[in-house]
């Protein structure tokens, strides 16, 4: 069939790599815009920016020695907080997952050329969907932890950040120690070797793509979940903390010295946690 007779959809399918790249860029951009707009909280994210080595001191000053009672979480507020966490994870993790998704798309093109798979980008979308579903599960857990911490009075309902040195220090030290843990090393190694992951976990079809996305997402959560918990230290909606953590995750996974970046950041986090207790 001459190229000029192809439909618009068929032309797009012949440029599936551009479609995948454009789709990932669009998803990431929309997620960041949602966060910048306040993620449904009614307050633009730039109003929640704060820069402090010891963010819990800001919470202490805001409390002014008064006992702060958490507000009631209505069903609508639960949904807002869950969406905030999930879309934040999409914004932070999509750039670091893009090489894996693009490599999967390339592998499916070869399989389609050999007649082993149906043409189109449905499998790639299924793979990305499975990956993001795992982060939805993480977001559900993070929302529940956020509610519990706020109910116990150790998390500011206004700043969405720790109000005490002990919680901040515990999270910083735990995150630092986890950077040296065997589980972190295993998960980071998988995230840094997408070709090896595909060769070991390849499954055909859309259902196989979803399962592969879920498996890769599980390794990704295993690599980064404690780092994401640091949002409770600096503020869940603090753009500076969000950006710093996103860059750290990206560097760990994609930089040639990613393993060393992980270890150096671990040492810094441990020292930071000890200093938080000492002040």
Residues 6+ away with beta carbon under 8 Å from 246: 91, 92, 95
Residue 264 confidence (pLDDT): 96
Question: With 50 as the cut, is the pLDDT of residue 63 above it?
Answer: no
Own/partner contacts of 116-119, CB < 8 Å, gap of 24 or more, are: 116/204, 117/204, 117/205, 119/13
Per the structure, the complete domain to which residue 117 belongs is given by 3-278
Residue 278 confidence (pLDDT): 85
Residue 70 confidence (pLDDT): 53
Residue 1 confidence (pLDDT): 41
Q: Which residue did the predictor score with more confidence, 32 or 71?
A: 32
Per residue in 77-133, pLDDT tens? 999 999 999 999 999 999 999 999 998 988 887 776 666 666 567 788 999 999 999
C-alpha 181/C-alpha 185 separation (Å) is 6
Per residue in 221-266, pLDDT tens? 999 999 999 999 988 989 999 999 999 999 999 999 999 999 999 9
Residues 6+ away with beta carbon under 8 Å from 149: 155, 162, 167, 232
- Which 3 state secondary structure label does DSSP give 258? helix
pLDDT band at 72 (very low <50, low <70, confident <90, very high): confident
Per residue in 186-204, pLDDT tens? 999 999 999 999 999 988 8
Residue 59 confidence (pLDDT): 56
Give the chain's domain count. Answer: 1
Per residue in 120-165, pLDDT tens? 677 889 999 999 999 999 999 999 999 999 999 899 888 888 988 9
Question: Rounded to two decimals, what is the model's pTM?
Answer: 0.86
Per residue in 167-178, pLDDT tens? 999 999 999 999
């Amino acid at each position: 069939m001459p190229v000029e007779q192809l439909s618009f959809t068929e032309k797009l399918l012949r440029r599936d790599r551009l479609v995948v790249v454009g789709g990932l860029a669009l998803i990431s951009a929309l997620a960041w815009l949602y966060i910048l707009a306040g993620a449904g909280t009614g307050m633009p994210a730039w109003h929640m920016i704060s820069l402090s080595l010891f963010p819990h001191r800001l919470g202490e000053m805001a409390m002014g020695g008064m006992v702060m009672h958490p507000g009631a979480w209505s069903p609508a507020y639960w949904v807002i907080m869950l969406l905030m966490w999930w879309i934040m994870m999409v914004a932070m993790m999509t750039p670091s997952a893009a090489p894996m998704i693009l490599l999967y798309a390339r592998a499916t093109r070869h399989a389609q050329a050999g007649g082993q798979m149906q043409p189109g980008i449905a499998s790639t979308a299924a793979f990305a969907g499975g990956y993001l579903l795992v982060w939805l599960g993480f977001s559900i857990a993070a929302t529940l932890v956020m509610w519990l911490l706020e109910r116990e009075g150790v998390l500011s309902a206004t700043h969405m950040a720790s109000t005490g040195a002990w919680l901040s220090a515990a999270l910083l030290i735990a995150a630092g120690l986890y950077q040296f843990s065997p589980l972190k090393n295993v998960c980071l190694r998988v995230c840094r070797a997408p070709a090896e992951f595909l060769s070991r976990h390849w499954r055909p079809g859309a259902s196989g793509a979803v399962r592969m996305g879920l498996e890769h997402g599980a390794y990704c959560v295993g690599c980064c979940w404690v780092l994401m918990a640091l949002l409770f230290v600096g503020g869940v909606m603090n753009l500076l903390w969000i950006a710093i953590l996103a860059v750290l995750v990206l560097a760990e996974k994609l930089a040639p010295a990613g393993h060393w970046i992980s270890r150096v950041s671990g040492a810094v986090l441990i020292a930071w946690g000890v200093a938080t207790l000492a002040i």
